[in-house]
Chains A and B, each alone.
Chain A
Amino acid sequence: MWVYEKALLYPVRVTRPDPRMAKNIITQYGGPDGELAASLRYLTQRYTMPIPQAIGVLTDIGTEELAHMEIVAALVYNLIRDAPLSEIKAVGLDAYYADHDRALYFVNAAGAPWTASYIQSKGDPVTDLHEDMAAEQKARSTYEYLIDLSDDPDVIDVLRWLREREVVHFQRFGETLNLVHDYLNSRHVF
């Protein structure tokens, strides 16, 4: 089961609406390398991991990504909440507005809806952990591009923190892959 805690894992401060950045940042909500994809990928891969360390890492990182998803949502929500319609039209968020008003929906920066084909669950722990390491690097790159696109120090602060977490997750997945290799080598000869 999961328990909801009524606090963000990292604080979000938004001092002015910025629908342009909301439109970009939403890709980390529902885009290919976003937090929903990350969380669901890890949480569904964990069932077929062969060693307890790997199950633990996927459970804990998958759960942390859910907390990141809430942080991204808090950013997007507050960046568009008080944005006037004129600005929403000016930055090209009017197509999004037609379907969702200022509500949160799982899309990438270009408006394409989230799809399960963003993630894989292969049953081979070596394959899955390689996907997970690549996923962390892709998320890191995306946060770097978002930082490039933003000029708001409060928003950049949150994006930097999220970027840093991807670096740590990559490290943990790398260690997990080594542990899985050790385990497989001790059991089989290929």
Chain B
Amino acid sequence: MDAGRDELLNRIRALQFTAVELGLFLDTHPEDARALADYNAASQELMRLKETYEQRYGPLLDYGFSLSPQSWRWIEEPWPWQVSM
């Protein structure tokens, strides 16, 4: 995987992790306005980065949650566990 792709994916992962953490926190603290604002800010930035990633490297999601405009790129390698040594 090229360095730019890895870097972009790591930025996506960082935001996604933030969203996972805040989401779990909000499940037990649904009235926390600051956590809610942070969750929405992270999600918005995440959506923006995912769009950039998908335009370059193909869809991250299946079942109609990502577009695959020119060709069917879903089955392009690497799959997540195919890491190079």
Is there contact, CB below 8 Å, between A9 and B27? no
Is there contact, CB below 8 Å, between B85 and A7? no
Is there contact, CB below 8 Å, between A7 and B24? no
Residue of B21, B59, B62, B80 touching A70 (CB-CB under 8 A): B80
* A40 contacts B by Cβ under 8 Å: no
Residues of A in contact with B, size category: 20 to 34
Given contacts A168-B24, A176-B28, A179-B28, contact A6 B79 (CB under 8 A): yes
Residue of B10, B17, B29, B81 touching A73 (CB-CB under 8 A): B81
- Complex interface bits, A4-37 against B, C-beta within 8 A gives 1, otherwise 0: 1111111111111000000000000000000000
* B43 contacts A by Cβ under 8 Å: no
Q: Which residues of chain A have C-beta atoms less than 8 A from B61's C-beta? A: 3-6
Given contacts A56-B27, A172-B28, A179-B28, contact A5 B60 (CB under 8 A): yes
Residue of B20, B59, B65, B80 touching A64 (CB-CB under 8 A): B20
Residues of B in contact with A, size category: 20 to 34
Given contacts A8-B80, A82-B85, contact A3 B62 (CB under 8 A): yes
Determine the distance from Cα of A101 to Cα of B21 in the docked complex, in whole angstroms.
37
Give chain A nearest CB distance to B19 CB in angstroms.
11
The total number of A-B Cβ pairs within 8 Å is 78
* A152 contacts B by Cβ under 8 Å: no
Chain A residue at minimal CB-CB distance from B78: A6
Is there contact, CB below 8 Å, between A53 and B20? no
* B83 contacts A by Cβ under 8 Å: yes
Determine the distance from Cα of A53 to Cα of B30 in the docked complex, in whole angstroms.
8
Q: Which residues of chain B have C-beta atoms less than 8 A from A3's C-beta? A: 61-63, 65
From 4 to 30 in chain B, residues with beta carbon under 8 angstroms from any chain A beta carbon are 9-10, 12-13, 16-17, 20-21, 23-25, 27-30
Is there contact, CB below 8 Å, between B79 and A10? no
- Please give me the 10 A-B residue pairs with the lowest Cβ-Cβ distance, nearest first: A74-B81, A56-B27, A175-B28, A8-B80, A57-B27, A172-B24, A6-B60, A5-B60, A77-B81, A7-B80
